[in-house]
Amino acid sequence: MSSKKLSRPCLVCWVVVFLFCTQSVHSQLEVGFYRSSCKLAEFIVKSAVRDGFNKDRGVAAGIVRMHFHDCFVRGCESSVLLDSTPSNKAEKDSPANNPSLRGFEVIDNAKARLETECKGIVSCADILAFAARDSIEITGGFGYDVPAGRRDGTVSLASEVLTNLPPPTFNVDQLTQNFANKGFSQEEMVTLSGGHTIGRSHCTSFSNRLYNFNGTTSQDPTLDATYATSLKQTCPQGSTDLSLVVPMNPGSPATTDAGYYIDILANRGLFTSDQTLLTNAATATQVNINARNSILWRRKFAAAMQKMGKLDVLTGNAGEIRVDCRVINS
């Protein structure tokens, strides 16, 4: 008798648990999310990235950086793509992003094609996540599955950027804490720092290492002297010319390889936040391992990028699917 009384409530419990788990699964990201609703979604994004890369090889690095700058501020919900309005200064106009972020036209192009193919289906956040993966692949890095189902945020505040993104002046302890705040280990921080193997930097991000470094020396003593001399030729003291840029990894600026780590070992890390990785025994070990084994680093980088793409995403009914990646829906 008692067993019969228990059977019905237990059945109800299992139904509740099943429904909860099912809802949880459906609210999370999923590889192949658009297989039925927009089966060409990833192909269309890849095509847009390829077109952009053929016009400007540097755009790939720009998109990878854009994805990082999006995910570390409010999560991967494409708030970095929103334009400022008369009443709001958006993330893209923070000093950390303007004028250095680039590749917005590639995302716009992909979105326009997708709106023609399957209107109102693919989020700008997913487009950016796909495009970052494709940019790594097109520059020689390893590809990875991108679980999708992100939705787009409706808030973008320039004031939130500098408190979330690590500046180029951070030391290893500050970097470790910054990445830990986002759920990354110190090793993953070193791995993701390798994204600096492609792309360029404005002089203003590292000129402090060339001139008036501190009260004792005008030049950062951890910077290779020959390299510093070449940087000074491009970046004269006191210049505010925002068009002056240098490659982050001069040997292979458009290839996702281990050149970044080789540069650091030669005291040619461009930023303080790059060279500082040698000041800690654990991070220095990782730099050496990555420098010696490019395949291993590329594999770790792909895994870390996939993890980063899941940061604080909006799913289910949260957020929206923007019609135009630059403005919230009216």
Which residues does the annotation mark as catalytic? 69
140 assigned to a ligand binding site: no
83 assigned to a ligand binding site: no
229 assigned to a ligand binding site: no
168 assigned to a ligand binding site: no
195 assigned to a ligand binding site: no
| 3 state SS of 39 | coil
2 assigned to a ligand binding site: no
Please name the residues in contact with 51: beta carbons below 8 A apart, sequence gap of 6 or more. Answer: 106, 109
**Nearest Cα to Cα of residue 193 among 297, 46, 48:** 297
73 assigned to a ligand binding site: yes
70 assigned to a ligand binding site: yes
Length of the chain: 330
Helical H runs in the chain?
2-27, 41-55, 59-71, 104-117, 124-138, 172-180, 186-193, 225-234, 259-265, 272-275, 281-292, 294-308
91 assigned to a ligand binding site: yes
Q: What are phi and psi of 18, to 5 degrees?
A: -60, -45
Q: Name the β-bridge partners of 327.
A: 324
Q: Residues marked as binding?
A: 70, 73, 75, 79, 91, 166, 196-197, 257
Q: Residues marked as binding for substrate?
A: 166
Q: Residues marked as binding for heme b?
A: 196
Q: Residues marked as binding for Ca(2+)?
A: 70, 73, 75, 79, 91, 197, 257
